[in-house]
Amino acid sequence: MCIVLTENRRFDGGVYLCRRTALATTLTRREGQVRIWEMFPDLFAAVHKSHEEVGLVGHHDWVHAARVGQIAYQIGLNETDKQTAELAGVAGLCHNADKVIQKKLGVGRREVPTDETSRLVKSWLMTETRPSAYGHVPEPVFGYYGPEVDAIVAAVLGHDGKNSSNDSPVLIALMDADRIVNLDGDLFARSGQHYADLPVVDYKHFLDDPEATYQAPRTVFRDIAYSLDWVDSESGVCIRTQLGKLLAAKRAAIFRLVTDGLRDQLEEEGIIPYPFGD
Ligand SMILES: [Fe+2]
């Protein structure tokens, strides 16, 4: 199903639909498979409660934490082992801890005290009542212990950074999962809400405004397009895992369908190339 719109560009909806079918099969819930919030119900309840207590809604709400946790778990299963997958999934459930503290204290993103974030994650982990089965202590203990706590807290504290060769498997799964969920279709509306005072489209430069930056995108569509850095191997923030790349490619195809489609529409309407001078 290809629709030729201009000589140089066309929608290839057929490719997208084929990818969608294949990936839906990959991640369809199998019989007996549990979601990460079902595996850790007490922990998830504590995370949910903390979000509600501070009124954390919108992008970083408790459902976002669940979405990231589930994808992190899936990536962990695909790339590593069940133990690492569980730690990655739990890190995903906990990864909004800094946003909870930020909301509670009413401070800027960079002003959130690291020790408070760490304390909040540990308090959530203490609610977990599943026996630990990780084998590095002589007897089963409840919840998390030593290295597991460290791995989860380090991942939560480091998930917003750039890629590093020192990143642990838990951190890599969490970072990829967060980037994937942030490439979901709701980003289009969310970006418009966040940058409600900006123009939606740059008619003159479209996505190539030389003065736009990630921190100051100047238009809503430029902000949306910055998310494609997560599928750009040169960006330093590119998704790294095999399953992550597969899921990200599926999401990026939708972004390109929309942005290429809009560019085509503006060409049809005589706005690209920009006809009104400076
Ligand atoms: Fe997130």
In angstroms, what is the span from residue 135 Cα to ligand 1's centroid?
Answer: 31
Can you read off the two tokens belonging to residue 272? 């690209």
Number of neighbouring beta carbons within 10 Å of residue 14: 11
User: Above 90 in pLDDT, residue 50?
Assistant: yes
* Topology (CATH) of 34-178: Hypothetical protein af1432 (1.10.3210)
User: Above 70 in pLDDT, residue 177?
Assistant: yes
Residue 107: pLDDT band with limits 50, 70, 90: very high
In angstroms, what is the span from residue 95 Cα to ligand 1's centroid?
Answer: 7
In angstroms, what is the span from residue 92 Cα to ligand 1's centroid?
Answer: 8
User: Above 50 in pLDDT, residue 18?
Assistant: no
In angstroms, what is the span from residue 162 Cα to ligand 1's centroid?
Answer: 14
Residue boundaries of the structural domains of the chain = 34-178, 182-278
Residue 127: pLDDT band with limits 50, 70, 90: confident
Q: For all residues of the chain together, what is the average pLDDT? A: 87
User: Above 60 in pLDDT, residue 20?
Assistant: no
Residue 126: pLDDT band with limits 50, 70, 90: confident
What is the structure's pLDDT at 3? 39
In angstroms, what is the span from residue 59 Cα to ligand 1's centroid?
Answer: 8
What is the structure's pLDDT at 11? 43
In angstroms, what is the span from residue 67 Cα to ligand 1's centroid?
Answer: 9
User: Above 80 in pLDDT, residue 163?
Assistant: yes
Residue type present at position 82: K
Percentage above 90 pLDDT, the chain: 73
User: Above 50 in pLDDT, residue 8?
Assistant: no
Is 239 within 8 Å of 231 (Cβ atoms)? yes
Model pLDDT for residues 75-90, shown as the tens digit of each residue: 999 999 988 999 999 9
In angstroms, what is the span from residue 227 Cα to ligand 1's centroid?
Answer: 13
User: Above 70 in pLDDT, residue 35?
Assistant: yes
In angstroms, what is the span from residue 156 Cα to ligand 1's centroid?
Answer: 10
Lowest mean pLDDT of 66-80, 99-113, 138-152, name the range: 138-152
In angstroms, what is the span from residue 60 Cα to ligand 1's centroid?
Answer: 6
What is the structure's pLDDT at 132? 61
Percentage above 70 pLDDT, the chain: 82
Q: N- to C-terminal Cα distance for the chain?
A: 39
Reported residue count of the chain is 278
Model pLDDT for residues 129-147, shown as the tens digit of each residue: 766 655 555 555 556 667 8
3-state SS string over the chain?
CEEECCCCCEEEHHHHHHHHHHHHHHHCCCCCCCCHHHHCHHHHHHHHHHHHHHCCCCCCCHHHHHHHHHHHHHHHHHHCCHHHHHHHHHHHHHCCHHHHHHHHHCCCHHHCCHHHHHHHHHHHHCCCCCECCCCCCCCCCECCCCHHHHHHHHHHHHCCCCCCCCCCHHHHHHHHHHHHHCCCCCHHHHHHHHCCCCCCCCCCCCCCCCCCCCCCCCCHHHHHHHHHHHHCCCCCCCCCCHHHHHHHHHHHHHHHHHHHHHHHHHHHCCCCCCCCCC
| Cα atoms in the Cβ-side hemisphere of radius 13 Å centred on 153 | 20
What is the structure's pLDDT at 28? 60
Give the mean model confidence (pLDDT) for residues 226-233. 95
Q: Tokens 């599943």 map to which residue?
A: 130
